[in-house]
Structure 1
Amino acid sequence: MTRARTRLLGRTAGTRLMAMATTLALGAVAACSGGGSGSSHGAAIFWHGYTGPEAKEIAALGQEWNQAHPDEKVNVTFAGSNDDALKKTLGAFVSGKTPGVAYEFGSSITTLAKRHQTQDITSLVKGAPDFKWDDFFPAARQAATTPDGKIYGVPALVDNLGLVYNKKLFDAAGLSYPTASWTWTDFQNAARKLTDAGKKQYGWAYVNDGTEDTVWRFLALLWQAGGDLLTPDGKKAAFDSPAGLSAMQLLHDMSVTDHSVYLDGGDQQYLNLFNSGKIGMLWTGPWDLGSITKDVSYGVQILPGKVTHATIAGPDNYMLFNKSDRKTAWAFLQWLTSPEVHLRFSTATGDLPLRQSETRLPGYQQFLKKYPGNKVFVDNLEKNATKSRPNIPEYSKISQALGLAVQAVLLGKAQPQAALDQARDEVNTVMAGA
């Protein structure tokens, strides 16, 4: 599984995994407690699901911390895939072998915040001026905070969507490259010109499996049109609006009328097709850039706009659980997410900076030199990632209703207004029972 699927689908997978927690084999959870960067005796346990460069770098940082803090050691432990983080954490609650801190998908906050083992860290965050909570990008802070203003996570990762395009296909079609002022009309026209049915070549790709991978792209369109998911009081659907209709109509027109969209079934064939010159544009994030083959000349631009150029971020968090480990775990997280240390992590892994101040450090230019395509995504965090999905228990059902609506429209099985009306009724029924 690629990092894209891990990071995107995990945000809804967490809600599905909750139902599995009651049937966990506790021995499997206990087996995760070994193999860290220090002895588990007297050390705070830090669970993560990093692989590749991220795993290597977090292990090195754990060793660095332990050497400098012999009385506050942290056992950095690979606890299995991040996809399984919620399941394993809930299992640890049952077994009593709770880690001090664990990497969790952003969507997991709504489940974990209800459990007494989960630490409300609002007082720690707000009571530590040197921590500089407001220095984290807004999207990352929003994903760590519940609607009642309580903070349950320290940002661990933040991504967003940008427009990635194949320069060779644009040149062949006689098209100018996308600019920061591109509108939906510019985007639709380019997708149409990049499409060649005879070559099975498409202008754009859209993941249309009906999951959150389908929904979050629609939310970006909804926000670009000036709309929102829910009413300001959070009690009813707000996407059945002129903004929602224009977003859904664009998808319908591009897929059903123009036939310029490759509908990915969730198996990520879009990336292989992009590499083979069969897709001209993607709405994707920095996680996919490393999988684009070296022979493909590509560019990155902000998403096209209507009222705004809004994008959507998918942040994850480090969350604290074990009270006895709280002091050490918190000290480690403060250090790990400090501007200088996290920029080192970003430079080693390609992950985006978490803090605005990281972009002002001398080392940031080295980061951009190593990952030039990431600049647009970092700029997005400052300018275009202004909204986030709500941290409410009902979100998974909202996403399910919207996902099926978008899927039906893209497949030509429903008209935009009818699909929105049905999704609105389903969401309002869910919210009425909240």
Structure 2
Amino acid sequence: MTRKLSALLCAAALVAAASACSSASSAAGGGDATGPVTLTYGIWDPNQKPAMQQIVSAFEKLHPNITVNIELTPNADYWQKLQTEAASGTAPDVFWMSTTRIGLYAGQGQLLPLTGRSGFDNSPFPASLNSIYTVGGKQYGMPKDYDTIGLWYNKKLFDAAGVAYPTAAWTWQDVIDASKKLTDPAKGTWGIASPDWTQENLYNDIYQAGGWVVSPDKKSSGFTDAKTLAGIQYALDFITKYKTSPTAQQMTDTDPSQLFASGKVAMFTDGDWDALTYKNAPGLQADVAPLPAGPQGRATVINGLANVIYARTPHAAAAWEFVRFLGGQQANAIQAASGAVIPAYHGLGDAWVKAMPQFHLQTFVDQLDHAVPYPVSANTGPWATADQTILDQIWAGKLSLSAGAQQLKSTTDADLAKG
């Protein structure tokens, strides 16, 4: 999954430009040249590359005339690079797509629809993911994985402070109380890291407080709703009121996930995708519990990636064979065994949980019962980028929450009105 959206989203004009110069034949998908075919597969997570390579190797054994080269681009550069390549007609044949960008890329004609292709089957995947990756009645993304958010905690720091580990019965107040006991300025340790990240932190708090981000009709935002503000205030208070979280500047200087992995932070709300990072962190003894209940109960945002086909690929048939394999049970079983992410394929969550028995990873699967879809619109990028800039100012103490909320609503509503 993504981190701070503002660092990853670029101007949509590049995508539009690419769409404008796409020929009719390339928009239809083109054809495959006779003989061996080489595909490029764009991904961004180094933790997942080994599993993706295993999947590629399994695919190549079944398709000896097709070679797949994995193109790994760091997360922070992935979208800008992809949009530049889309404009020049050189994007990977197959690449990872997010829920926040599917509307833009599909709407601009940059992706080939999967609906109607021979062997297309979306029945093994959650209906919510299929729906998100469907634009104009056609599905463009083959769901790859899904993620929820949990409360990661450092057992060493809890033990040293004599604080009981988090449980499914914890509420916001339990987190607040524990963060105070776990903060030790003399040792340079913090009770919790509370960045202004939306997926990992704020959206969950907003929904736990009973607030909302985007209306069901995608025409308005809820940033000035009292319950929405309560959720954001809860996260902000760890910095401004309780002083139990690193400051915004400190979390800019060092990523909060790194602070947690290095033993400087006792609690951190984070996704399942960082399990491998915490498994491999030297000396870290961590585990994960469900997110605490807020005033309106439990909630965690659910999100997920998909594999898509570039509309201007010269190898549409081979690309489809690869995407169809990526959506099959064999590929998803390999992904599950790696422990990198939860496969979207029904029934394979147990295999992912068993991949790292030192963590209670079943937490992420069980939280499906409290999952709320990640808020998106037809073109999420502009308002999400603007929102993050405003949130950064609030977290830095340059803008009050009340004034910032008005700006969040104003800018978000304006972008939503554009469709």
TM bucket (normalised to shorter chain) is 0.7 to 0.9
Change (3 A) 1:64 1:171: closer
Structure 2 residues not aligned, in runs of 5+: 19-32
Which whole-Å deviations, capped at 9, do the CAs of 1:186-219 have from their partners, x for residues lacking one? 11121122223343332111234xxxx3565211
1:228 aligns with 2:212: yes
Which whole-Å deviations, capped at 9, do the CAs of 1:105-138 have from their partners, x for residues lacking one? 443323311333421223349x84xx3x243245
Distance in 2 separating the partners of 1:40 and 1:346: 35
- 1:5-404 correspondence runs (5 A): 7-9=1-3, 12-16=6-10, 18=12, 41-43=35-37, 45-49=39-43, 52=46, 54-70=48-64, 73-81=65-73, 83=75, 84-97=77-90, 99-124=92-117, 128=120, 131=121, 133-137=122-126, 140-146=129-135, 148-208=136-196, 213-214=197-198, 217-263=201-247, 264-292=250-278, 293-306=281-294, 307-322=296-311, 325-348=315-338, 350-359=340-349, 363=351, 366-369=354-357, 372-380=359-367, 382-393=368-379, 395-404=380-389
Per the TM alignment, residue 390 of structure 1 is displaced from its structure 2 partner at its CA by: 0.7
> Counterpart of 1:113 in 2: which secondary structure?
helix
Change (3 A) 1:151 1:82: farther
Distance in 1 separating the partners of 2:275 and 2:353: 18
Change (3 A) 1:229 1:214: closer
Per the TM alignment, residue 43 of structure 1 is displaced from its structure 2 partner at its CA by: 2.5
Contact (CA 8 Å) 1:139, 1:385: kept in 2 or not?
Answer: no
Per the TM alignment, residue 155 of structure 1 is displaced from its structure 2 partner at its CA by: 1.8
1:426 aligns with 2:418: no
Change (3 A) 1:242 1:152: same
Q: TM-score, normalised by structure 2?
A: 0.81
Change (3 A) 1:310 1:19: same
Q: How many residues align?
A: 398
Change (3 A) 1:86 1:173: closer
> Counterpart of 1:254 in 2: which secondary structure?
helix
**Which piece of structure 1 moves more, 222-231 or 86-95?**
86-95
Contact (CA 8 Å) 2:377, 2:416: kept in 1 or not?
Answer: no
The letter for the 2-side match of 1:431 is: L
Which whole-Å deviations, capped at 9, do the CAs of 1:347-384 have from their partners, x for residues lacking one? 13522222232136xx5564354x6343322333x323
Distance in 1 separating the partners of 2:103 and 2:129: 15
Contact (CA 8 Å) 2:209, 2:230: kept in 1 or not?
Answer: yes
Per the TM alignment, residue 177 of structure 1 is displaced from its structure 2 partner at its CA by: 1.1
Which whole-Å deviations, capped at 9, do the CAs of 1:376-405 have from their partners, x for residues lacking one? 22333x323331121422x23322443344
Contact (CA 8 Å) 2:6, 2:385: kept in 1 or not?
Answer: no
Distance in 1 separating the partners of 2:67 and 2:378: 32
Distance in 2 separating the partners of 1:11 and 1:413: 20
The letter for the 1-side match of 2:69 is: T
Which whole-Å deviations, capped at 9, do the CAs of 1:150-186 have from their partners, x for residues lacking one? 4221123433321111122222333221111211111
Distance in 2 separating the partners of 1:97 and 1:426: 33
> Counterpart of 2:343 in 1: which secondary structure?
coil
Structure 1 residues not aligned, in runs of 5+: 1-6, 25-38
Change (3 A) 1:10 1:195: closer
1:416 aligns with 2:401: yes
Pick the structure with more helix per residue.
1
> Counterpart of 1:103 in 2: which secondary structure?
strand
Distance in 2 separating the partners of 1:351 and 1:53: 9
> Counterpart of 1:64 in 2: which secondary structure?
helix
**Which piece of structure 1 moves more, 189-198 or 45-54?**
45-54
> Counterpart of 2:39 in 1: which secondary structure?
strand
Q: Percent identity?
A: 24
Change (3 A) 1:9 1:376: same
- Corresponding residue number in structure 2 for 1:30: none
Q: TM-score, normalised by structure 1?
A: 0.79
Which whole-Å deviations, capped at 9, do the CAs of 1:25-76 have from their partners, x for residues lacking one? xxxxxxxxxxxxxx99542624223665633443343333233234xx4331
